[in-house]
Structure 1
Amino acid sequence: MESASHAGLAGPDGEPMPPVERVVAARLGVFPGGLTAASVAAVLELPLQTTSCLLDALTERSLLTVSDGRYEVLDAIHTYAGERVSSAEADDLRARHAAYLLDLVRRADAQLRGPDQLRWATSIRHESDNLRGAIAWATEHDQRLALELVAGLSTYWWMHGLVSEAGRAAERLLGALGPVVPAGLEEEYLLAVLHTAGSGRPDGVEQARVIVEELVEPFRYPVTVLLWSIVLGPFVPAELAADVLARQELSTDAWTLAAVQLCDTSAEAALAEFQVVGDRWGSLLALDELGQVAAGAKEFKRAIELTGQALLLADELGVHEEAASLLCRRGDLRLRMRELPAAADDYRRTLVRAKQAGRADLAAAARIGLAKAARFSGDLAKAQELALVALSRCPDDWDEADLAMTEALAELAAIAAAAGRPEEAHSWRLKAGLAPEQYRSAGR
């Protein structure tokens, strides 16, 4: 069998590839998630025009594919790179690549909270695999750089519901760093702790609190105030929470000031300020908060309107999980208003989004909502069918399964009662009252 050193690395007429193309091809193995002429030029320190010509030549040799100016590296190049590039040179290339990505992340972060956020979010999304690789490499070889990458991606990750991804990256990094906070990177360390705590891993929370108390100036990363308030705010003394928000009021950054308003329960003012700076994510959060406040005040029509506005922004941002949650909540509101066809439509759309987002809890809530809509419309047979499906699809391996199971059983009891079957309704109520583990052990 022909070795990877020669397979596919010759011209169309069988002539060997020119040395400069071989050198470049070997070094492209550092790009696990695709590349552009600009990224290669920066990492390999080549003129942009020369780089474009070399990438086009490699594409003609079927070693790269290209679409809309972005190249994907084929397996032959990765194999060739493994044979031709020493470990020392590979580390040097990865360091340069990580530095290039950090520069991109910094430039993007400044734009992710303004009117051009969709374009910059797309730029970061295209580099997702490269960024994961860079963070993994830097976690082992350059923790300061890794911290800056993790901190710089904070807005993008939380804006797009990638809290678990942020938590995994931060947890590995904090494990490599240990408890010592690198000098000058206190806020970056704080953001890493917030990521781990926000994704359900609370290690380091007390240390985060100490860092917050010692940082007397406004946060350098605008997103820090929002994440701190979401993750730690409810668990710290009210005096500290008020002090942290008061410090941020000294900021000159408009987005930070809007976030302070949101964290200080002034969602109406926050919405106006987020809209001025052109930020969809902040506006979405403010609209969601206002919608929940309206629902709590039983202003259901206004709550539906506000939730719908938030949903439009979630769709623009492409955040399926948030969109699924908003759709399900609007379905619940429409159900209370007895807008049954509209509620059922929201629940069906929730099922689609929940599948895309991998949210079994939202899928269960949508199925139960559909059963209720059918019951309220008088179709008890359909309602029972839907409730039984909801019950049968409550898996045991997610946190909200017990609640979803109880709600499905309660709905089956309500359906039986509406159908004039009191004994069956009583039986379902008994099952709903059982501890979930007892019900599981008894069988469904």
Structure 2
Amino acid sequence: MGLHTGEPVVTEEGYVGIDVHRAARIAGVAHGGQIVLSERTRAFADDARAVTDLGRHRLKDLAEAERLFQIGHEAFPPLRSLNATNLPIQPEALIGRERELGDTLALLETARLVTLTGAGGSGKTRLALQAAAELVDHFKDGVFWVSLLVLPTIAATLGAKDELVDFVDEKRLLLLLDNLEQVLGCAEGLAALLGRCPNLKLLVTSRAPLRISGEQEYEIPPLPESEAVELFNQRARRAKPRFTPEPHVLDICRRLDGLPLALELAAARVRLLSPQQILERLGESLTLLTSGARDLPPRQRTLLATIEWSYELLDESEKQLFGRMGVFAGSFDLEAAGAVCDADLDVLEGLVDQSLLRRTEDDRFFMLETIRAFAVDRLRHRAESDQGYARHADYFVDLAEAADRELHRAAQRASLMAFKSNVSNLRAALSWALRHDSEVAGRLTGALAQFWFIHGGWSEGEGRADAVLAAGGLSQRIHERALFCSALLSVALQREAAQRRAEGLLRTAKETGSIWGIGRALMLLGWQAALSGDHERANDLFGECLVAARAAGDGWLSSVATHDLADVALNQGRYDEAQRLFEESVEIARSRGDDDMVARSIADLGQASLRLGHEEAAIRLFLESLRLGREISAPDVVIADLTGLSAATADTEPSLAARILGAADAALAEIGVERQPTEQTTRDEAIGTLLRHFGEERLVSELEAGAALSSEEAVEAALALD
């Protein structure tokens, strides 16, 4: 039966007119026992909950699609409209996902089976529904959504009374099969259906691929930060109309990996909690993320239930490995998985297939933090928990020490990459070791010292080293290395305690007869003297350091001491000598493959060229150092080069010079230290020249414009000088 409300025309033959025609067409798409209403009639219903929204349908001979409703909630086959579909109407527009939607639609143009995979809560179903809705007009025999799939369910959804294959036959159909991970065993039946129905296409959502011929898998990533923030804010305003976005929302989105379900559940909490309070309560727990919409399936009402649903689909060996992998923070490679977790390749692949483990483009693995929190909880309940964390710490301290040994040699870039790729795991291992194994904590601190120094992790490294030293319980050799780490980074940060720490390292090294420690302590004390302006004292200390380095055959320290002697000469106005010593330092560093020391020495060689009036040579040197500094991610080198380039180009390219100087100032302020004396002199000269060009007000404006640039933008602008 079909019902429509309108104004018919009365004739001798009865009621006629467009509204009568519309009512007939509505009745014509309904099934036996089904009462279908037009939107106009639906408006007169006493109880809106007593009707089911069937979406918009194209009716024969009617130009405009009609929104149709059904009295009651009984399940019927799809309406027999021109664009037959049973896709549920979505209450809100899809946020973001433009790229993923476009990719899915493009894949469906050529592939007959497209499977959207991804972690629970990543928005696979919502994306698939959107893609299917956009294709309704492209499949003349219909687009249908089937949840909790088995082949008989497809038949019932389509209203097939005979064999499903015979019913589908050559019809142009798109079936959206949702949550297929529950019944992967039906994959063979689907393959047979596709094989016998040439115009049928399947769009599948699953946490694991089907693994049948012709399948095109497409993994749905978490939302990008901007889209995640937009989703959170929209859902928060739905829960609390006066909600105002604030900075903590971005941190919430990062903590929840940009998972749409997690964001929606968290946003619902703004009724009672501020974003800051939500962030504080998240921690490593998923219990805050409950109370999802009641019209969702139970497995999707809390994030915990969504992840647990995937977990229960694993076999026992997969469950065991999943829990063990909770010890990893950030990404890890296959070797680490084997060494720490005894990972079997097939079992590992099973976790990837179930979207509980993800693979990066460079063949590393990682868990989304929300999933990792669940894995940590599972590991906590296993007897092997303590052993797992100990194995993790042992593996990564060995990795860090191996990388540190090569950090100032030909394999420097590979070593830096080893540190950078595993920095989250190194932090996690150090945090665990501080509580459970002081010697491992000390070894990690010593091994990380030079990486922290090169990579700009000065404050973090200093705090970690001080915590290790305060905990005590270290062997003599490990204590010395932790003390060096603390002293090195406190000198870099220009702390008041830097002198005391460097003197403490020298005293300890002399007591134990450690040439390694004595040489490094002399280096740090020389830096302190140079920073205070006592260049004579600095020159003596660097000279002693060079003697100790040569006696120990320490190539890195020899290069550093030579560089530092050159720096003293530069500050004392002995420019030709400074140039000669910087060139010698570059030669030593290059012979060792030490790009970090090469970059630092070339930057200061540029300073010497500036003092000698060789601006063009200085620009070439600063650009060479800048490229190296960017490649090895050494922020202080980049800052020094931008400052030098500003001074060298202040007359010829004043606007660019001012902007890259503004960017350098902003980067330095972010680190929280002052410039070295040589650098400060160079900056002062640049400012003097720029003031003559612009005047104070214009110069301030140019510097502010530079400060607004990202580091990469400033580097690219500077490299354009080449």
| TM-score after normalising by structure 2 | 0.46
How far 1:391 sits from its partner (Å)?
Answer: 8.7
Cα distance change, pair 183–375 in 1 and its aligned pair in 2 (3 A): closer
How far 1:77 sits from its partner (Å)?
Answer: 3.7
Letter in 2 for 1:62: S
Specify which of 460, 475, 480 is matched with residue 165 of structure 1: 460
Matched, 1:344 2:638: no
Distance in 2 (alpha carbons) for counterparts of 1:287 and 1:32:
37
Could you say which residue in structure 1 is the equivalent of 2:507?
210
**Match runs of 1:120-131 below 5 Å:** 120-131=415-426
Contact 1:271 1:287 in 2 (8 A): yes
Distance in 2 (alpha carbons) for counterparts of 1:59 and 1:221:
50
Specify which of 574, 579, 582 is matched with residue 267 of structure 1: 582
Contact 1:36 1:71 in 2 (8 A): yes
Contact 1:111 1:117 in 2 (8 A): yes
**Match runs of 1:86-97 below 5 Å:** 86=381, 89-97=384-392
Between 112-121 and 234-243, the greater mean CA deviation after superposition: 234-243
How far 1:360 sits from its partner (Å)?
Answer: 8.3
Could you say which residue in structure 2 is the equivalent of 1:290?
605
Indicate the SS of the match to 1:69: coil
Letter in 1 for 2:367: V
Q: Percent identity?
A: 20
**Match runs of 1:351-370 below 5 Å:** 351-352=662-663, 358=670
Distance in 2 (alpha carbons) for counterparts of 1:99 and 1:17:
29
Between 347-356 and 200-209, the greater mean CA deviation after superposition: 347-356
Matched, 1:56 2:367: no
Deviations 1:102-141 (A, max 9, x none): 1111221232223332232122111111111111221222
Higher helix share: 1
Contact 1:284 1:310 in 2 (8 A): yes
Matched, 1:145 2:456: no
Matched, 1:65 2:362: no
**Match runs of 1:11-22 below 5 Å:** 16-22=313-319
Cα distance change, pair 101–226 in 1 and its aligned pair in 2 (3 A): farther
Aligned length: 378
Could you say which residue in structure 2 is the equivalent of 1:413?
none
Distance in 1 (alpha carbons) for counterparts of 2:562 and 2:685:
34
How far 1:295 sits from its partner (Å)?
Answer: 3.5
Distance in 1 (alpha carbons) for counterparts of 2:616 and 2:606:
10
Higher strand share: 2
Contact 2:543 2:561 in 1 (8 A): no
Letter in 2 for 1:113: H
Cα distance change, pair 222–312 in 1 and its aligned pair in 2 (3 A): farther
Distance in 2 (alpha carbons) for counterparts of 1:107 and 1:133:
18
Specify which of 697, 709, 712 is matched with residue 384 of structure 1: 697
Specify which of 548, 553, 559 is matched with residue 258 of structure 1: 559
Could you say which residue in structure 2 is the equivalent of 1:135?
430
Deviations 1:403-433 (A, max 9, x none): xxxxxxxxxxxxxxxxxxxxxxxxxxxxxxx
Cα distance change, pair 328–183 in 1 and its aligned pair in 2 (3 A): closer
Letter in 1 for 2:366: E
Distance in 2 (alpha carbons) for counterparts of 1:258 and 1:346:
31
Indicate the SS of the match to 1:219: helix
Letter in 1 for 2:655: A
Distance in 2 (alpha carbons) for counterparts of 1:282 and 1:261:
11
How far 1:185 sits from its partner (Å)?
Answer: 2.3
Distance in 2 (alpha carbons) for counterparts of 1:305 and 1:393:
22
Could you say which residue in structure 2 is the equivalent of 1:27?
324
Specify which of 2, 16, 39 is matched with residue 336 of structure 2: 39
Considering only CA atoms, is the larger Rg found in Structure 1 or Structure 2? 2
Could you say which residue in structure 2 is the equivalent of 1:436?
none
Contact 1:7 1:76 in 2 (8 A): no
Cα distance change, pair 135–200 in 1 and its aligned pair in 2 (3 A): farther
Distance in 1 (alpha carbons) for counterparts of 2:610 and 2:635:
23
Contact 1:354 1:362 in 2 (8 A): no
Letter in 1 for 2:364: R
Aligned CA RMSD, in angstroms, stands at 3.9
Indicate the SS of the match to 1:33: coil
Indicate the SS of the match to 2:365: strand
Contact 2:542 2:561 in 1 (8 A): no
Cα distance change, pair 362–324 in 1 and its aligned pair in 2 (3 A): farther
Indicate the SS of the match to 1:184: helix
Specify which of 636, 641, 656 is matched with residue 326 of structure 1: 641
Contact 1:118 1:317 in 2 (8 A): yes
Indicate the SS of the match to 2:459: helix
Letter in 2 for 1:118: R
Cα distance change, pair 91–241 in 1 and its aligned pair in 2 (3 A): farther
Contact 2:549 2:558 in 1 (8 A): yes
Indicate the SS of the match to 2:552: coil
Deviations 1:219-261 (A, max 9, x none): 1899777556535787889776644432221233433432343
Distance in 1 (alpha carbons) for counterparts of 2:593 and 2:542:
27
Cα distance change, pair 287–196 in 1 and its aligned pair in 2 (3 A): closer
Point out which structure has higher relative CO (alpha carbons under 8 A, 6+ apart). 1
Deviations 1:356-397 (A, max 9, x none): 67368999x9999998666544x65xx623426769999xxx
Between 186-195 and 157-166, the greater mean CA deviation after superposition: 186-195
Contact 2:658 2:690 in 1 (8 A): no
Cα distance change, pair 78–218 in 1 and its aligned pair in 2 (3 A): same
